[in-house]
Structure 1
Amino acid sequence: MSRIDVLDKGYVRLVSHMGSDLTVVNAARVSYAKQSDALSDKDVRLIKFLAREGHTSPFRHAILQFEIYAPLLVARQWWKYVIGSAHYEGTGDSLEAWNESSRRYVTEEPVFHIPEAGEWRGKPNHSKQGSGAAVAWELGEKYTHELMAYTELGLQKYEAALADGICAEQARLFLAAYGLYVRWYWTASLQSVAHFLNQRLEHDAQQEIRDYAKAILEISKPLFPTAINELLTNCET
């Protein structure tokens, strides 16, 4: 599966990938001028050892590239992994790349994430952040209609500004930002992807980004079944 729909209008799509479990093995074995032509039980044991002992550089020779369409509230959480990549991987350069569509240059029709009545969540009982159980349907319905009206008002003002000749990069200020869908390419090493998954599949991660993390996992695991399994068990979270 190369594309999975997420939320009401979003998706994750695999654009390309480089490598396999065997790539990890051969990157590790090159130190001894050895190479495997097919994945063996011995190779699987090596991958488990590398992940368990924190020898992570071989996992950075495998690459995944995704196209992602998600609300801004998800995109800005995700962006932190690009910023933090160089630090946690112990390298001088980030092994992630991010290129996002820009409303400075394009004026495609704005699309917004609008939770349905049953999707609104209340405050958590024992934490200052995150969310708790679903609120009453009637309250959710109220805020679905409130958000639809607010979003529509901003959209009308955005379109009016464009029609009056205001530049796109300033007209976009009228758009309801956090629910606005944005599209980007995310290219990352296998280790970076696993680090993202370890954190955003956790039960206390924001539900919306957890949904995207599940899609990333579903697409990635068939490509690197052994490595993903071991990294999700052993990566720093």
Structure 2
Amino acid sequence: MPLSPEQQAEIDAQRSTRQETRRVVSEGMEAHLYTAYPVLDHGFIRVIDYMGDDAAICQAARVSYGRGTKSVTNDEGLIRYLMRHWHSTPFEMCEIKLHVKLPVFVARQWIRHRTANVNEYSARYSILDREFYIPAPEHLAAQSVVNNQGRGEALTGDEAQRVLEYLKADSARAYDHYEEMIGQEGQQGLARELARMNLPANIYTQWYWKVDLHNLLHFLRLRADAHAQYEIRVYAEEMCKVVADWVPFAFRAFEDYRMGGATLSSTALDCVRRMLKGEEVTQENSGMSKGEWREFQGVLEG
């Protein structure tokens, strides 16, 4: 299950306690504190702590001592200007700390974003739970024939069932041997730091992940994208919901200029200008490779 009884009891106790503060608070984020949102079959995300809000971004941009400006419209306009012109520092003034439970192979992708502070559950000191990510049948797919790091058509019938049985059986067998190696009655047992190497990459781990808003938005731009691997994308999509309530002005600007926008090369811009003048532009006379032209067409066609 996503949360152990001990973790749920701790969360319930934390949510029942309120404290006065002089710090800036985001009412939208306050509602998310100490709530675990399930992801995949055994995973979750939950907000542990945060700092700042939309007004803090504006305050940092102006290096002022007040909360934003006299007008909310001015604050939103400033945030949109900062996002539009790629000014990153004011967004770094906001931070969030998340507790995440995720499969190890997802964690290996996630940790590639080296701009966060991370503390992971240690299998050197503790014994990992018998929890593995087993994909739903609709997420079992063949290798893509056009993308070396993507998926193709979903597996069906006997082949899908065979793969599921392999995943379940191999996970269970590896954990059985892990338990046997770390010690039984009458034997010394293998050290935990060695026994863990036998565990599969779909076993669940947990960590605390603290990151500033600028780098969080970069993470979300890549991992909430439709081309991202499903198993990390669902975490990013759940995080998007939290960020939208935390800093609504910043998130709307992010959706507009990053998630919904596109960056064009000088060659692509030249092609757009030629098209607007009525010229017929093809891949052969565009100056682009076939791959670049395919991506360019994807931007134009939406």
Normalised-by-shorter TM-score class? 0.7 to 0.9
Residue 74 of structure 1: CA displacement?
A: 0.9
2:160 pairs with one of 113, 133, 140: 140
Tell me which of 82, 85, 99 is aligned to 1:67. 99
The C-alpha deviation readout for 1:143-194, integer Å capped at 9, x for no partner, is 1111111111111111111114111000112211x10111001100011110
Of 104-113 and 217-226, more deviation after overlay is shown by 104-113
Unaligned runs of 5+ in 2: 1-31, 264-302
User: Partner of 2:239 in structure 1?
Assistant: 216
Structure 2 contact 128–205 (Cα < 8 Å) conserved = no
Equivalent of residue 154 in structure 1, options 166, 174, 180:
174
What TM-score comes out, normalization by structure 1 length?
Answer: 0.88
Aligned to 1:170: 194
**Matched residue count:** 223
Please say if residues 223 and 236 of structure 2, whose CA atoms lie closer than 8 Å, have aligned partners that are also in contact: yes
Q: CA deviation at 1:231?
A: 2.6
d(CA) in 2 for partners of 1:39, 1:120: 51
> C-alpha separation between the residues in 2 aligned to 1:135 and 1:108?
31
Alignment of 1:173-184 (within 5 A): 173-176=197-200, 178-184=201-207
Q: CA deviation at 1:35?
A: 4.8
1:50 to 82, 86, 91: 82
Q: Return the offset for 1:228.
A: 1.7
SS of equivalent to 2:153: coil
Structure 1 position 8 matched with structure 2 position 28: no
The C-alpha deviation readout for 1:64-116, integer Å capped at 9, x for no partner, is: 1100000011111110112xx3xxxxxxxxxx201100100101423111123
Select which of 252, 256, 275 maps to 1:229: 252
The match for 1:26 is: 59
What is the distance in 2 between the residues matched to 1:39 and 1:197?
A: 29
Paired position in structure 1 for 2:299:
none
Give 3-state SS (helix, strand or coil) of 2:209's partner.
strand
Contact 1:21 1:39 in 2 (8 A): no
After the TM superposition, which parts of structure 1 deviate over 3 Å for at least 4 consecutive aligned residues? 32-35, 232-237
Q: Distance in 1 between matches of 2:163 and 2:126?
A: 30
Q: For the structure 1 residues 39 and 115, does the alpha-carbon distance in structure 2 shift closer, same or farther, using more than 3 Å as the test?
A: farther
Q: Cα RMSD between the aligned structures?
A: 1.9
Q: Deviations over 1:178-224 (max 9, x none)?
A: 10111001100011110001001111110111101001111111010
RCO (CA 8 Å, sep 6+): is it higher in 1 or 2? 1
Aligned partners of 2:251, 2:68: CA distance in 1, in Å?
Answer: 19
Number of the residue aligned with 1:204: 227
Q: Percent identity?
A: 30
Q: Is the 8 A contact 1:194 1:232 kept in 2?
A: no
Report how far residue 137 of structure 1 moved: 3.6
Q: Is this contact kept in 2: 1:74–1:208, CA < 8 A? A: yes
Residues 122/59 of structure 1: CA separation in 2 closer, same or farther (3 Å cut): same
Contact residue 56 and residue 67 of structure 2 kept, 8 A: no
| 1:12 positional shift | 0.8
Measured in 2, the distance between the counterparts of 1:195 and 1:232 equals 12
Offset of residue 34 of structure 1 = 6.0
Q: Aligned equivalents of 1:119 and 1:199: distance in 2?
A: 20
Structure 1, unmatched stretches of 5+, are 86-95
Say whether the 8 Å CA contact 1:117–1:138 is kept in structure 2. no
Among 111, 118, 121, the alignment partner of 1:98 is 118
Aligned letter for 2:158? E
- By how many angstroms is 1:229 displaced? 2.0
> Do the aligned partners of 1:197 and 1:232 also contact (CA within 8 Å) in 2?
no
Deviation at residue 33 of structure 1 after TM alignment: 6.3
* TM superposition shift of 1:38: 6.8
